[in-house]
Structure 1
């Protein structure tokens, strides 16, 4: 894995083998991987879509991408689908088998499914923690992993409820000093407000949104590295910057490497295995 973490001495092929071995590991039950950001525009939804796609590529069982953004999230759009039914329909029907549940999900790949918070891109109802937990509880037994895309922020009752049940957390922040300060504030809040256990499950993703990386990127990553958590830089990617649905085959090589590292680290933490970053 040294190649994946930016070192030398290992080939790309060896790195891919290490990622594959980790992401294919059996799980004792549904692993909830939550993607959050302190504020909007950090790249959270894109990261959730990339992470769900990466997991579904390697696993032989099903992966669920969950749109938990109460303010009209764009996760289905990023994954190239439009959901005509939402988790509210699922809660209302309470299907007892995957065959009954499938019509309330949207397929985004061979093993990737989407559970949307909206119907046809329109807000359905008020999004609550109870609705989220009921929907995920209804279908969770049919999936190995659920990648949950939260709305921006970490302090609402909804966010705190979702974070309480997560097995792995990706905290997404712009790759700037300002972004690092926001991420540091979130980590300090976890530590000081009864969420210290989240720190052991967290991977920080710093995202560059412009073709020229900020001169502050190195300083930002130094600030975050003091927490002794994996800090992975996701470089600017012209294909992702276009918006809308992305094609994983068109990602730049450095982007793919970063996503692989993030997937490796957060999945390792979700199953209690040591990651490269600690």
Structure 2
């Protein structure tokens, strides 16, 4: 109408455009200090690492501050394989570096995606990776919190390895990734029960469940009913639809996602950002820029 009328009639932005603009405003909410997000699941193959990279890339591409994802998987995590690799450095190399004084010193140990998301990879040696401890994880966080506003941790599928207690103790929010299937939902429910029984019940109300579709086609499970089940315990539920690009298992490029998948990650980022005024503001020291 605007074009046909040579600009004399301006119907304004559509409802969809206004809704998307509101999402972007939510995603862009400021963080003072650092905000830590743990991404976990008991069941493998449900899109946990994909969710960590997709969410981190969305934050990094839509915000002006620094965002990093850390691989805390003790079993040869694949986080570092989902973006272009710029260094062979790992979490342990960062800890062993005696000269971390500014952002550029940390950046030498990370790889950066086109979205601006940085990734700190895990050890590739199974013996060394298994030994990654809670104290070492805390040491990594003590470094990263000085230079990054949003820190995502891609956890292993187990809950009993040493670093997990540090991950959960330092987390401001949890993302629990599940498939929209009965076995995935049961695993997610078991994770919540474990948190409640091991001193982390306070994180359940700060949890967001992601229903990640790893296969094309609609699920036979009533996802609305599944979402309502989780909403009785968690803060929010966000679906991420199947995407051919994500299913490739290669580098994740936001530009190659279909529209629904990319919108799902923006909605997830907005849900997480709604909590940026919570514990992250009160507990951590202010962000130190170079």
TM-score (norm 2): 0.83
Structure 2 residue corresponding to 1:204, chosen from 203, 209, 212: 209
Q: Deviations for 1:102-157, whole angstroms, at most 9, x for unmatched residues?
A: 21222223632111113xx5558232222222122123211111111011123433
Match of 2:240 among 227, 234, 256: 234
Q: CA deviation at 1:31?
A: 0.7
Q: Does 1:66 align with 2:52?
A: no
Cα distance in 1 for partners of 2:61, 2:26 equals 13
RMSD: 2.1
228 and 146 in structure 1: CA distance in 2 versus 1, 3 angstrom threshold: closer
Equivalent residues of 1:60, 1:111 under 8 A apart: no
Contact 1:240-1:246 within 8 A present in 2 as well: yes
The answer to whether the aligner puts 1:52 opposite 2:56 as a matched pair is yes
Match of 1:128 in 2: 133
Retained in 1: the 8 A contact 2:84–2:251? Answer: yes
User: C-alpha displacement at 1:160, in angstroms?
Assistant: 2.3
For structure 1, list consecutive stretches of 5 or more residues without a partner in the other structure. 1-9, 274-278
Query: Match of 1:107?
Result: 112
Q: Which residue of 1 aligns with 2:31?
A: 27
Shift of the 159–178 alpha-carbon distance from structure 1 to 2, 3 Å rule, reads same
Q: How many residues align?
A: 262
Q: 2:255 pairs with 234, 249, 255, which one?
A: 249
Return the offset for 1:228: 5.1
Q: CA deviation at 1:267?
A: 2.6
Distance 1:175 1:139, change over 3 A: same
Q: Does 1:149 align with 2:144?
A: no
- Unaligned runs of 5+ residues in structure 2 are 1-13, 280-290
Compared CA separation, residues 87 and 108, structure 1 to 2 (3 A): same
Distance 2:73 2:198 in 1: 23
Cα shift at 1:19: 2.4
Structure 1 residue ranges, 4+ long, deviating more than 6 angstroms after superposition? none
Looking at structure 2, the residues matched to 138 and 174 of structure 1 have their Cα atoms a distance apart, in angstroms, of: 34
Which residue of 177, 181, 190 corresponds with 1:176? 181
Structure showing greater relative contact order (alpha-carbon pairs closer than 8 Å, 6 or more residues apart): 2
Q: CA deviation at 1:217?
A: 4.0
Distance 1:106 1:216 in 2: 38
**1:241-269, Cα deviation, whole Å (9 max, x unpaired):** 11111221121121112111211112322
